[in-house]
Structure 1
């Protein structure tokens, strides 16, 4: 419906596209049509159409010529009408059912994320995030360096179970008085930069912490490789802790001279209403069930649906709260899952990867290359979009070389979350940059330092840990 402007005139409300977006849209159409119109050696009809879909998705996600979510659902639509058993063009008798592609919109991993989003939004509604942060920060008063460690630890902890964006916003609301009390601009920049770094790292720690995690878990599930909630924590927590402590050490050394003091005056006022108490109990039970999945055997995806039902049934949250859920993120993840299904169902991944002699690469150097590509791509486009593109394609490497598919998916997912060089790299970075206390140069340098160390750990250290403790087999 047209909306009135300040001048009284009505406008369609459609945003104008930039030259880059128009160019991206034109290129996406050309890339989509190219393998369909011009036959490519070794590709049959469905594979050619799937290649067109894949190339167009890459272009649209990189240029954001249309919204990321629109590209995601467009992938599902095109797969249904072009390569499924309900396609409008001839497809072989062994075509994948259209129901499989539509089911991406209700994949169990999305239900897991839905539960996480409900908890995150409820925490903001009842002030649990800010009050919990203030309460946990109390013991860290005095030494500025100790305060910074507490700030980063709590941010990472909250970000593991809540949206990185919501956590960053909540933490800046809590620490605004701290920033004003710091003596130098460098100190203020160091503390402000610590929040997005910790939020990005904390999101790696659990399946609900960041969309790339869900994309990897969903793609692996399609390959009959299942990771539990606690299993993901076990494989990701070591690298999170190492990078968190490393980041704290760098920021403390650079921004906070030894002996800098900082006194905290944090007001804690938990909501004690009946609705809030129900929210606390349901949330605590959900997290406990997630962490004990191996004991009771109820899948984390099923547990993730419990808070949705419980919150609505107890009226702790209602239809208005449902409207605030990050549905675009869920649909974006669904598009990535569907893209992986289509690439695998048509065996396009085998064709794409078959032209390269992967056997000439050692496993560790290949993992280094994958991590570099993931971090580089995620610094300039959405982490979720990067994971959507890279996970489905690289999973085929498991069949080409002696590396487990689980290892490839986890390396890509974690690497995508290590991209934090630019204000546009992640929403937490954008929020921190908007405070005016951080320069582009400082964010770039910190992002490079954390990213490079993370890439080295992912390629040369973590696979041996995963193999040694039996979390992921590495051949």
Structure 2
């Protein structure tokens, strides 16, 4: 019961405010008055709240997470220095807590940052280097871990949230839906296909996070037109799936692509914009088609229909017009990033400043944004920072005897590592950790093509999308409240697993046959 409700229940004058009062006079004794007061008096608020209990899954998660956290402190991990062992403890705890949720996802995210500051930073409670100067480079200042809370991706995310919230406030979401969905029939499955195609196309040329934030302005009224349950979850899941998969298509679609191209250039290997598209777009379309079929079979009944009022009713107030202009300019700058060279993260801060300065959005609009989701993404970024700084990434990759594996086995192993890691930390962090190591490894071996390895690992990092912390588009979708963790994990693992299998077993022979890779 809320505080207001409790007050009304215990205060007859507030409960009947605004209604005629009826007075009944009865004879009562002092003892009856005391008994009546005792019976009707509200209980202290703490007694009215049911105690929160952990489910069996949460209890298992809490115990397992703590046990795995302690193991690297008790058992000496071969080949891993003290900072790496401490980071391994945090890494294992984060994985278990994010999967089994003994505490909220956001709580785990900020716990990761705190543990990194306390255990593996220069401000650690006990020096992780043990005085060994050779390990000094593995220990970052505490500020580097706190910086995850203001990472450029978070700023981009904030701008996307501002646009999405403003679109709902000024009715732009319904009007966008009416314009973009006119070519598609009211059949729910075909409408879903339209949404996924539009999302994937936008995500090829602009940030998948920005695409997701923009598209959810279209999807919110569609969700409201559907009955609560599987159908809503299916539509909500379609947007991050399409955004993540669509970003694979071009070098500018998602950071892992750009990271791969940059690392290849450092090794004297170049890949053009069109060559990347030739490699990625056919693969992207196949994965997108599979994801659409899976969503339809799992969540969308064959006869389901989505009825949307297709009439546009644009808000003509001055504030609304200013918002439309700022939102349109922001999206245009995101889409044209390859032309002007201004980072989408920097562009993402423009609507925040412009809308507040022009008083189109106010303090209460800032409060309405989903800040816990921003913290959730920050935790994934901080985890990736720690894994890279402490050498845990090199230990994970170096734990395999690559010389005993064939070329296909090496590509498959690196792809699986990328897919697995990208499910628990951000795609950009996973690519930053793995692509340089994978390309260096490929260059050192005779039977592996570095270009092939870079493309496979980068794309594998983009299809790791089974958790809200896997990628910002997932976090945005989870913030709608329409998706359960189990649903996201199932769809993400099936689509990502099939996509990874195609990537490591089917795509390389086809690319080689077409002369796209040597």
TM-score by length of 2: 0.66
Separation (CA, whole Å) in 2 of partners of 1:58 and 1:448: 15
Separation (CA, whole Å) in 1 of partners of 2:421 and 2:390: 26
Specify which of 215, 223, 227 is matched with residue 172 of structure 1. Answer: 223
How far residue 282 of structure 1 moved from its aligned partner, in angstroms, is: 0.8
Q: How does 1:22-101 map to 2 (within 5 A)?
A: 22-90=59-127, 91=129, 92-93=132-133, 94=136, 95-101=139-145
360 and 261 in structure 1: CA distance in 2 versus 1, 3 angstrom threshold: same
Q: How does 1:11-410 map to 2 (within 5 A)?
A: 11=46, 15-90=52-127, 91=129, 92-93=132-133, 94=136, 95-141=139-185, 149-150=193-194, 152-153=196-197, 161-163=211-213, 168-173=219-224, 175-176=225-226, 195-196=235-236, 198-204=238-244, 239-245=283-289, 266-361=310-405, 394=434, 396-401=437-442, 403=450, 407=455, 410=458
How far residue 281 of structure 1 moved from its aligned partner, in angstroms, is: 0.8
- 1:205-237 deviation per Cα after TM superposition (whole angstroms, max 9, x unaligned): 677xxxxx98968998999999xxx99x96976
What is aligned with 1:437? none
- 1:215-274 deviation per Cα after TM superposition (whole angstroms, max 9, x unaligned): 968998999999xxx99x9697665544445566788999769xx999975232122211
What is aligned with 1:431? 482
Separation (CA, whole Å) in 1 of partners of 2:492 and 2:454: 26
8 Å CA contact retained: 1:196, 1:428: no
Separation (CA, whole Å) in 1 of partners of 2:333 and 2:77: 50
What is aligned with 2:499? 454
Separation (CA, whole Å) in 1 of partners of 2:281 and 2:512: 15
8 Å CA contact retained: 1:115, 1:307: yes
The alignment partner of 1:201 has SS state of helix
The alignment partner of 2:121 has SS state of coil
8 Å CA contact retained: 1:419, 1:447: yes
8 Å CA contact retained: 1:193, 1:432: yes
How far residue 310 of structure 1 moved from its aligned partner, in angstroms, is: 0.7
8 Å CA contact retained: 1:201, 1:243: no
Unmatched runs of 5 consecutive residues or more in structure 2: 7-41, 248-252, 267-272, 444-449, 469-473
Instruction: Name which one, 1 or 2, has greater alpha-carbon Rg.
Output: 2
8 Å CA contact retained: 1:114, 1:308: yes
8 Å CA contact retained: 1:286, 1:307: yes
- 1:99-144 deviation per Cα after TM superposition (whole angstroms, max 9, x unaligned): 2222222111221121112111211222212221123233435888
Separation (CA, whole Å) in 2 of partners of 1:333 and 1:221: 25
Higher mean alpha-carbon deviation, 100-109 vs 194-203, is at 194-203
Separation (CA, whole Å) in 2 of partners of 1:194 and 1:23: 29
> Would you say 1:10 and 2:55 are equivalent positions?
no
8 Å CA contact retained: 2:418, 2:434: no
304 and 432 in structure 1: CA distance in 2 versus 1, 3 angstrom threshold: closer
Separation (CA, whole Å) in 2 of partners of 1:262 and 1:3: 39
Separation (CA, whole Å) in 2 of partners of 1:250 and 1:25: 33
399 and 71 in structure 1: CA distance in 2 versus 1, 3 angstrom threshold: farther
What is aligned with 1:411? 459
- 1:415-457 deviation per Cα after TM superposition (whole angstroms, max 9, x unaligned): 223789xxx9974997389xxxxxx9xx97x888855653344
Separation (CA, whole Å) in 1 of partners of 2:147 and 2:244: 26
The alignment partner of 2:108 has SS state of helix
236 and 408 in structure 1: CA distance in 2 versus 1, 3 angstrom threshold: closer
33 and 157 in structure 1: CA distance in 2 versus 1, 3 angstrom threshold: same
How far residue 320 of structure 1 moved from its aligned partner, in angstroms, is: 1.4
Higher mean alpha-carbon deviation, 241-250 vs 131-140, is at 241-250
Separation (CA, whole Å) in 1 of partners of 2:513 and 2:163: 34
How far residue 88 of structure 1 moved from its aligned partner, in angstroms, is: 2.1
8 Å CA contact retained: 1:119, 1:162: no
8 Å CA contact retained: 2:122, 2:141: yes
